[in-house]
Structures are given as C-alpha cells and as structure tokens.
Amino acid sequence: MNRKIFLFGYGKHGRAIAKGLMGKGFRLSIIESDKKNHKASKADGFTDTILFDVTDDDNLEALVVAPEDELICVMDDEHLNVFLALSLRPLFPECYILAISGSIYTSQKLLMAGADKVIDLYEVSANRIHNLLKRPVSTRFLDKILSDNNGFSFREIEVPEGSFLNGVMVEDVNFYVCRVLLIGLVDLGQGEHFRFITSGDEYTLDSGDQIVCLGMDKDLDNFEAMIKKSEETICVWPS
C-alpha cells in the first residue's frame, strides 16, 4: 500500500493503534511530544518515530506528507488533538484526518477544526455494552474472530472508478464465491451513514461507495484487487 499513516500520539490509545496498524502492514510514522512515549515507541520496534513539539507549526510544516496519506490524532491530551486538527487541515488540505474524542463537546470541536472523522470513545463503549446485552452470542463470536490470531479482519474498501461493481445491486454480488462476507456499506447516494446489510435491503453500488467486508486477509486482498477490474463475472450472479 502506497499511503502512509502519520500517528500523532503513542500514549494509552496510540500504542494499541500503532501495533494494530503495524500488524496489518501499514507504513507508519509516529509523532510524539512526550519523551517517555517516544522512548516507548522505539522500544516497541518502531523506527520511524519523531519527537517534537506538536504545537509548533514549523515542526508540522517540515513533515513530508503526500495527499493520499492519512493523519490520525490520538494524543492523550484532547486539547492537543483539537489543536492538531486545526493546524493540520490548512497545511495538508487533501489528507484524511481522523481523531479520537472522549466527549460529545470535544467531538464537535474536532469536526469544526477540520477532522474528517471523529471516534467518540464513550459512544463506542456504550454501543459495545448495548450489543453485549442485546446480541451477546454474535458479539462474542465476532470478538473471538478478531481477537484470535487467525488472519480474519474487517476491511473498509472503496468501490473504484471503472469497477464492474458500478451500478450493480448488492444482492447480485456473490460475495460467497469471493470468500468474503459483506457486513455493511456507506451508500453515498443515500447519505454518508454506515448501514448494516440485512435481508431485503436493496442498494446499488456506485464508485466512491465504501463497503465493509469480513474475511481472511489474503481473500480481502484478492477481492480488493478484483473489483478494480472493469469486467468480472465470477462474483456477480447471472441476470
């Protein structure tokens, strides 16, 4: 993969995120302001790790960032994440910025500051508790799949321009033969909200739509490569 992830913060959240990204083969650059966290990142085997004051715009401007790179703000201090979003957006206008938040107020500030996506940790926890209470079997099943080191993972895949999936109904795609399971999607034609796929739902795929699939890493790689083709009949049911 060509894009690079710039991870701002190697504290209580950043450390786990960095290890997860490294395990998936992402190119990763870690930026820290705290000497202790910086030292910990090097001790954990990360070689591309930088120590500098993130509140200094000169330091941020010196970063070599490409338009396709992604910026993740996970500093332990939420105020620094807001500051980073404010600073990074004008410096790297084409980059995707993701940040974490511990409250709805901080989430609003981050979005106003220029973050493309904000993950509210309290909302995530609340949803997890709800799922455990309402859907305990399926939730624990998915937990086991993703926690065991068995190669399964979720992946968000964008339908590319020129893909044979453009204009195809979801129900006409044979995900089974592609060895992946469709979990949900973001259908841009119906808004930017994530929708779980359930029986009876009718969605037409278009370029730019995001589909979320579950499968073995190698099968997800193959599927992602396959949908870049303009013609493919293997995973589309005959009319």
92 within a domain of the structure (yes/no): yes
Cα–chain center distance at 124: 14
Closest CA to 43 of 21, 15, 23: 15
Same domain, 107 and 39: yes
The answer as to whether 141 is a domain residue is no
Average confidence score pLDDT of the chain: 82
C-alpha span between 151 and 217 (Å, rounded) = 6
Tell me if 29 is assigned to some domain: yes
Is 99 in the same domain as 24?
Answer: yes
Query: Do 70 and 157 share a domain, yes or no?
Result: no
For residue 237, tell me if it sits in a domain: no
What's the pTM?
0.59
Give a yes or no: residue 189 inside a domain.
yes
Q: Give the domain extent around 61.
A: 4-124
Helix, coil or strand: residue 33: coil
What is the SS3 string spanning 49-88?
EEECCCCCHHHHHCCCCCCCCEEEECCCCHHHHHHHHHHH
Over residues 33-53, the pLDDT tens digits come to: 999 999 999 999 999 999 999
Same domain as 56, residue 109: yes
Residue 63 confidence class, pLDDT cut points 50, 70, 90? very high
Average pLDDT (149-177) is 82
Same domain flag for 98 and 183:
no
Q: Of the candidates 107, 124, 141, which is a domain's last residue?
A: 124
Residue 230 pLDDT class (50, 70, 90 cuts): confident
Which pLDDT value is given to residue 131? Answer: 55
| pLDDT at 148 exceeding the cut of 70 | no
On whether both 102 and 39 belong to a single domain, the answer is yes
Q: CA-CA distance, 133 to 125, in Å (whole number)?
A: 12
Statement to judge: residues 117 and 10 lie in one domain: yes
Q: How many other CB atoms sit within 10 Å of the CB of residue 82? A: 21
Instruction: Assess whether 25 and 84 both reside in one domain.
Output: yes
Query: How sure is the predictor about 97, in pLDDT bands with cuts at 50, 70 and 90?
Result: very high
Q: How many structural domains is the chain composed of?
A: 2
Residue-level pLDDT at 13 = 87
Question: What CATH number is associated with residue 18?
Answer: 3.40.50.720
The token pair that represents 152 in the structure block: 């399964």
- Helix 136-147 crosses helix 121-134 at what angle (to 10 degrees)? 120
| CATH code, domain carrying 209 | 3.30.70.1450
> Do 11 and 98 have their domain in common?
yes
Say what the pLDDT of residue 211 is: 87
Within-domain flag for 44: yes
Most confident of 113-127, 128-142, 214-228: 214-228
Query: Which of helix, strand or coil describes residue 19?
Result: helix
Instruction: Tell me the average pLDDT across 164-181.
Output: 85
Cβ neighbour number for residue 106 with a 10 Å cutoff = 19
Domain shared by 50 and 156, yes or no: no
Look at residue 130 and tell me whether its pLDDT is greater than 60. Answer: no
Does residue 187 surpass a pLDDT of 90?
no
Q: Which residue, 105, 124, 143, sits at the end of a domain?
A: 124
Asked if residue 202 is part of any domain, the answer here is yes
